[in-house]
Amino acid sequence: MTTRVTTASVTGAPYRIGRQFARGLVWFRRDLRADDHAALHYALKHCHQVWCAFVFDRDILDPLLARGLKADRRIAFIHASLAELDATLRRAGGGLIVLDGRPREALPALARDLAAEAVFLNHDFEPAAIARDDAVRDALAADARAMFTFKDQVVFERDEVLAGHGGPFAVFTPYKNAWLRTLQPFDLRPYPVAPYLGALAPLPAAHDQPLPPLDVLGFRPTDLPLPAGSTGAHALFDDFLARLGDYGQKRDYPALRGPSYLSVHLRFGTLSIRTAARAAHEAVLRGGADSAGAAVWLSELIWREFYFMILHHHPRVAQGRSFQPACDAIRWREDDTGDRYFAAWRDARTGYPLVDAAMLQLRQSGYMHNRLRMVAASFLVKDLGVDWRRGEQVFADWLNDFDFAANNGGWQWAASTGCDAQPWFRIFNPVTQSEKFDPQGRFIRKYLPQLAALPDRHIHAPWLAPADVLASANVRLGDNYPRPLVRHEVAREETLARYGILKTKSGKQKTPEAD
């Protein structure tokens, strides 16, 4: 009987698979590329024939449809990326088998149909995904088939970067420093695929089917405001490398082309994390004009891994619980006012232009600038007093690059309930944030054209503008743009009272701060 095997990652050393297989199956998930791919590399090396598959997982898709997300850009992105992946594999002599079903039944059935002796896949870290993969492993084992899993979507995972006491870090900077100390050249080397492509097997006739259209999956075509697939990923990557040196200075200004715009490609694996981290790390080591920006970007990539590590060691955060248990006692607005505030925030009707423009960017494109994610989240939680979990779900539904670990980590950071979160007494002022990071109102004007004629000094807080200035700009508060939902200075005091239950060990509250 074939031994059940799940490889364990070993920093600085390759995986060891002690035998060869006649037939193998690679299960693609959040790794939609054919280069620098751990599972594909090992399958091609250890199998005489290899097939590749992707499953449109109904356990993921059906809840989206139930929430009315039939025009989900993420499904369109995946669909377009699969079309490119299939074409790439076909040119190499294989192809992509695309199934629509539940993986825990569909994958074992496909392996049985292909007589595959082993299934190869890359790790996923979310609790639901782990449970799914365990079920697939058990079903394969019942058929005497092996399953191998590999680290691929991060440089370091799980227990590879630990604190001196042997447990996980709870503060980012020490984690980052340990991450950098642990890093070796091997960790950033790509997994070679091209030398082994001769093992790709042509698709059996029964599985040589065209990619199912979106409507067959239950979704509608939608606008896709970014290029998909590995081709799109590398085009954006090349563009970003040309402006890497400016990243540190420009990334906080939503009207500037400062971010990498690669988050969705890292989310779905159309770009390898090793490619990204290697470019950043090498630029830091070279020094020169790009090094400062590269260091900031590398730090952001390490934040991504920090949140994956937190999810692995503290799976309770996936159960709607605060990372800091004491924070579960905070009383949020749960009355009609809370519902009204939440709806106004979601629908970009808060009366605070930067917040509303951010929410419109999210709704119209599926993307939100990282600085604005912090501003919008802070406003919902600390100006409106609404439970952070409600905002977390909106971002989960609308963000093209939604990743549970990063989304939960970001929301808990903003709500001061998470690990290494901003202190509860630090409260973003949405007007000063607007004045600082969109000083000419360029971003606001793009998404709120009804405010476009306001002078720069008044566009951040229209309710403070003189009546003649509003009239000249054709801004009618309460008509074509809402009055502010709350007064920040009043909301701030309410927030300090709400968080007042969180004491220092001495029992004294810390001194309030503002930003």
Instruction: Please give the positions annotated as active site.
Output: 300, 303, 332, 370, 388, 411
Q: Which long-range contacts (CB under 8 A, 24 or more apart) does 325-331 make?
A: 326/501, 326/502, 327/415, 327/416, 327/417, 327/502, 329/501, 330/417, 330/498, 330/499, 330/501, 330/502, 331/498
Which residues fall within 8 angstroms of residue 65, CB to CB, at 6 or more apart? 218, 219
Residue 120's nearest CA partner among 233, 228, 31 is: 31
Read off the DSSP letter of residue 379: I
- In angstroms, rounded to a whole number, what is the distance separating the alpha carbons of residues 127 and 172? 22
Sheet holding 118-122, edge to edge: 96-101, 47-57, 21-28, 118-122, 146-150
- In angstroms, rounded to a whole number, what is the distance separating the alpha carbons of residues 225 and 400? 10
- In angstroms, rounded to a whole number, what is the distance separating the alpha carbons of residues 52 and 96? 5
- In angstroms, rounded to a whole number, what is the distance separating the alpha carbons of residues 70 and 397? 11
Burial tier of 427 (Cβ tally within 10 Å: 0-12, 13-18, 19+):
buried
Q: What is the dihedral of CA 367, 370, 372, 376, to 10 degrees?
A: 90
**Is there a contact between 410 and 364 (Cβ–Cβ < 8 Å)?**
no
